[in-house]
A and B are shown apart, each in its own frame.
Chain A
Amino acid sequence: MRQQFTSLEAHGFESPTTQSAFSSSISSSSATDRRLKALARHLVDASPVMDSHSQNPNDTVSPSPTSSAFHADSVFAHIVRAPEDPILGVTVAYNKDPSPVKLNLGVGAYRTEEGKPLVLNVVRQAEQQLVNDRSRVKEYLPIVGLAEYNKLSAKLILGADSPAIQENRVTTVQCLSGTGSLRVGGEFLARHYHQLTIYIPLPTWGNHPKVFTLAGLSVKTYRYYDPATRGLDFQGLLEDLGSAPSGAIVLLHACAHNPTGVDPTIQQWEQIRQLMRSKALLPFFDSAYQGFASGSLDADAQPVRMFVADGGECLVAQSYAKNMGLYGERVGALSIVCKSADVASRVESQLKLVIRPMYSSPPIHGASIVATILKDRNLYTEWTIELKAMADRIISMRQQLFDALRARGTPGDWSHIIKQIGMFTFTGLNSEQVAFMTRQYHVYMTSDGRISMAGLSSRTVPHLADAIHAAVTSFA
């Protein structure tokens, strides 16, 4: 960043050419001139400081009373345009494409069989309840968010009978979806934890490194995905975590790893847990797909609950973007499981100090919807059914794609498509093949070969299979 800073002088602030090259959209009205003239006389007479400044060659603008409309040079003139976000940029490109057969497998947002975004029935019902309740107000939430929502969210991920909750050892704060929970947790760790390194899996969601770096942590990686097997590099994972410094933070995807869809088995999770506890590594779970991976909320929460059950501490970032379809409402929560209620209370007070100068307090709408659903037995049950339907549709798309590739005799082993879990499949396609698929078949995905299964339907599976087949046979 330092090299981007240049002094005002270097930007020609005092250069006459800059002065005269002002945009014509700034009107130099004579009224303005008259006023400036009057003011200048008043100020020059009254203030000796003004005079000495006008002789200062470093003055940016000559305070001449008759100068025509002042045109400031921007103090941000040196800024270059940032590259498109690689994930969100895919949708931008997709939207520009006029082809009728285009397929968006970029962003992980669920789509129905008809390719439409889905608002869950329970969400619509909750929405109506909220709108019809005239006693509802829009006051500020507390800094930590909606209390009811926080309790219900902790129960959802940790289990209603979790001893940690019963012992008041958990502090939960409402945050802006998964991203916000990770950022707040990261900033808290950077201020209060003794080991400022976080290990993230290779690969991981593209935004993870930026979130933690800006939070003030130093980011390292541990081996995770094995391209050869398109599965877990378990040995590599154990080795890398085993050689991490004691106390280091470790980011774990609770289920449905993004972008690979490769999850450890329960037995592997147990080994990971033992290794981490023996080295005092601090677990930081990112739980963005609870219920969405297997269809069961409890099954998808197992890894987190295993760690909490051993009595140790951990952080968990939750998101309702996918499993409740609340994407744009930015609903999430950060839970920190501590050793004691007293510690949890102090931790919570410090979390507030991170949040207040960031956005003061979280948005009320999405959290209200979630709380409405989670606390109502009927709505909750309906939700689990809708959630399972989404998960099942994705599992079915995996099967259909696998079958379609087999039917075409596409070279290679594609079983990873049905072995992987969750929203995404790491196809194993390289960036050349991906670019080909976009050019020739109007299939949009991230260049790492990740496809969002949620963007597929029975109708579009054949087109995708054709595209993959062509890509693989054209570029070995």
Chain B
Amino acid sequence: MAFRAVMSRRGTNRSSDIGARWMSTWWGNVEPAAKDPILGVTEAFLADPSPSKVNVGVGAYRDDNGKPVVLECVREAERRIAGHSNMEYLPMGGSVKMVEETLKLAYGENSEFIKDKRIAAVQSLSGTGACRLFADFQKRFRPDSQIYIPVPTWANHHNIWRDAQVPQRTFHYYLPETRGLDFASLMDDIKNAPNGSFFLLHACAHNPTGVDPTEEQWREMSYQFKAKGHFAFFDMAYQGFASGDPERDAKSIRIFLEDGHLIGIAQSYAKNMGLYGQRVGCLSVLCEDEKQAVAVKSQLQQLARPMYSNPPLHGALIVSTILGDPELKNLWLKEVKVMADRIIGMRTALRENLEKLGSPLSWEHITNQIGMFCYSGLTPEQVDRLTSEFHIYLTRNGRISMAGITTGNVGYLANAINEVSKSA
């Protein structure tokens, strides 16, 4: 105690006496970090006392009562797991069973690549973790490469490749005038990129725009990728969630596989199995042969070990329990379709409501776009009005999470959008 009294009498901060240095903080220069733009929206929403507030910010599914959903197949899987499993470490590459089932979803139930063991795959911390592991892997083994990222994209994609210290370039994607795909510029960017460039592609249900290439456009992209020797890395966060049919949602990937590309894929069960907080996903890299796949997998593990040693068990158990049981798997497929259909239904409802209100603007894009999000085309100023006047919360890029819309609030939302946009 006397020691402390002596020290405090000497005075605190900015003492040049090294011995007393420990009395002042090391972190005086630490600036407050900017709030995450997406997660910050939910924080603001929660703080709002208004009874009519609507959260169409974060992309987490809600039912028609605006409540989060735990799928029945997940509840059943948890009942089977509880009390029956030990909690030993998974291998560094995660649950083998879960990875096997996950690869089938992306590459096809009877994929020859799986049979020939040509896929290097590890369980990852959801989609974020898969992208980060790949970015670190890319940095380590193709240190001169860079990543082409679509404009716009999920904001965290930029953070991930930046923290992995991989230089970024962008390619054209969204055309504001049409609220659709800027295909011509996209193809130009593919052609103009140096041979052998790395591209980040959203496999389906592009986040944040909801704008996907058509099948024919994917085929053209694949062809051009061939000509240029580009590497395609697919972020597939919404398989099953976009159209309601997982096979259909994987079409872009299957096209590239058919055309012989050796791709990489980040898969996530956050949305399509509602396992958000469990952090379950998978990173895979298609290789030339089994030997190469073994080598690549071992190197991915070398990156995972100093990050978290091995991935979490619980979510993986849920996934492998469901996908490994035909009945549960069927239940899951039904439940995914229900979620996708509700969202498609809300798209139709929002568009119809806006048209009924006599909005002079075109709202076709709401039903043309697909997946969790709609790029409304609203400006940041209009978004601010939605929030301040109507207590509607969304990100300032005008991205609306369709999952936050219900039959109960779609009218209110349409009215508010109409109000802020009719002078546009």
Chain A contact residues, CB within 8 Å of chain B: 1-2, 4-5, 8, 13, 22-23, 25-26, 32, 35-36, 39-40, 43, 47, 49-50, 53-54, 58-61, 63, 69-82, 85, 88, 107, 109, 117-119, 123-124, 127-128, 130-131, 134, 136-143, 176-177, 179-180, 183, 192-194, 207, 210-211, 213-214, 246-247, 277-280, 282, 310-313, 321, 325-330, 338-340, 343, 345-347, 349-350, 352-354, 356-366
Contact = CB atoms under 8 A, between A and B. Distances in A.
A139 B60 CA distance: 8
B418 interface: no
Given A1-B143, A75-B196, A277-B22, A330 B36 contact: no
A360 B126 contact: yes
B358 interface: no
A349 B163 CA distance: 16
A328 B274 CA distance: 21
Interface in B258-308: 258-262, 270, 274-279, 285, 287-289, 292, 294-296, 298-299, 301-303, 305-308
B424 interface: no
Contacts of B277: 138-141, 361, 363-365
Interface stretch (B168-176, B312-320, B378-386): B312-320
Contact of B292 (A72, A77, A246, A311): A77
Contacts of B224: 43
A177 B129 CA distance: 16
A210 B306 contact: yes
B25 A313 contact: yes
A138 B79 CA distance: 15
20 contacts: A26-B260, A59-B227, A69-B259, A70-B260, A72-B260, A74-B262, A74-B287, A77-B288, A85-B301, A85-B305, A127-B82, A138-B68, A207-B309, A339-B27, A346-B27, A347-B27, A354-B163, A359-B308, A363-B277, A363-B278
Given A60-B228, A278-B19, A363-B312, A5 B83 contact: no
Interface residues of B, number: 108
A296 B74 CA distance: 38
Contacts of B47: none
Contact of B88 (A109, A278, A282): A109
A198 to B, nearest CB: 13
A74 B29 CA distance: 45
Interface of B: 3-4, 7, 18-19, 21-33, 35-36, 39, 58, 60, 68-70, 74-75, 78-79, 82-83, 86-92, 112-113, 116, 118, 125-126, 128-129, 132, 140-144, 156, 159-160, 162-163, 188, 191-192, 195-196, 219-220, 223-224, 226-229, 231, 258-262, 270, 274-279, 285, 287-289, 292, 294-296, 298-299, 301-303, 305-315
Given A49-B192, A277-B22, A349-B33, A73 B288 contact: yes
Nearest to B35: A349
B156 to A, nearest CB: 6
B27 A338 contact: yes
A43 B288 contact: no
Nearest to A362: B279
A142 B162 CA distance: 22
A321 B89 CA distance: 9
Max chain A Cβ within 10 angstroms of own Cβ: one of B162, B262, B312: B312
User: Looking at chain A's contact residues, is the secondary structure mostly helix, strand, loop, or mixed?
Assistant: loop
A177 B305 CA distance: 12
A247 B295 CA distance: 40
Nearest to A31: B258
A26 B159 CA distance: 36
A82 B299 CA distance: 6
Contacts of A49: 188, 191-192
A349 B32 contact: yes
A384 to B, nearest CB: 19
A326 B87 CA distance: 6
A328 B313 contact: yes
Contacts of B278: 138, 363-365
A25 B286 CA distance: 13
B31 A346 contact: yes
Nearest to A340: B25
A42 B203 CA distance: 24
B92 to A, nearest CB: 6
A88 B75 CA distance: 33
B220 A43 contact: yes
Contact of A76 (B83, B86, B296, B302): B296
Contacts of A279: 18
A119 B88 CA distance: 9
